[in-house]
Structure 1
Amino acid sequence: MPTIPTLKEALQKIEHYCAYQERCHDEVISKLKSLKLNSNEIDEIIVHLIEHNFLNETRFACSFARGKHRIKFWGKIRIINELKFRNISQYNINLGLAEITPEEYATTFDTLAQRNWDSIRESNIQKKRKKCSDFLLRKGFESNLVYEKIKELEQF
């Protein structure tokens, strides 16, 4: 039977968990619950983590937005939805999105759209258009950008 860690052991464990990678409050709380801690202990640890700068939702939102855009090439809509899912405030979501410059966003979008368009081996232009636009919408790019880009790609 797994032993319930003491408050000190749980604190060390969760400090390491937060130091390894940026975490949001929800991730930390569910990790603490998995360690079988009661709500008073969880609250005490959360306060400690915030006071000692292990837990910072603004930093998490900025890091999340930058990383998902640069590494996974997500658009703003998907980033916003994922941050909302993690109960991040609108203020922090806006700060996170500010980490992505409009130039970087446009470059990523253009590169991704061109690469996907070129990779689709479909003779039916309707199906090719649908596949490419579905891909870009799934990535979280704005529909007006997607449809304009598809029209542009069709010209070549």
Structure 2
Amino acid sequence: MIEEGKETKKKSGKMKWIIMLLILLLLGGGGYFAYTTYFQKSTETAEPQDVQLEEVDPSDSQVVTLPSFLVNLSDPLGRRYIKLTLDVEVASPEAAQVLESASAKVRDAVILLLSSKSYADLASLESKILLKNELVTRLNQIIGSSKVVRVYFTELVIQ
């Protein structure tokens, strides 16, 4: 009878270790999943596109200042936002007028683009340059082919 009690204690001691090991494995797997989903930088890199820009005479180009954008970022871990003020260099005075007349479309496109980004998407220098290129592409889609030459960030706050 004494021997049966010792075997039961040995089995229950082993069972505790097995349960603790399973819990530890589940926590480790959950931690790895959370790390790869939320913290690891995206390995997808956009391939540089060969954009055929028209030759722009610097004397013809104009810079248009857009009003500031204050947009919530798509960040699952907290409340983050970006405040961005842009200067847009366009190829001609006519392109500047087209850009100003399409200001609602321009603001909509910029807000949608910024709100789709997370803090991790905008943290590095390369990602900011990529954002500039995306903005040029979006603005050219709105106002016509290759009228936007460059985008300058005059104010950029990510918080």
Instruction: State the TM-score, normalized to the length of structure 1.
Output: 0.29
Q: Between Structure 1 and Structure 2, whose CA radius of gyration is higher?
A: 2
* More RCO (CA 8 Å, sep 6+): 2
Whichever structure has more strand as a proportion of its residues is 2
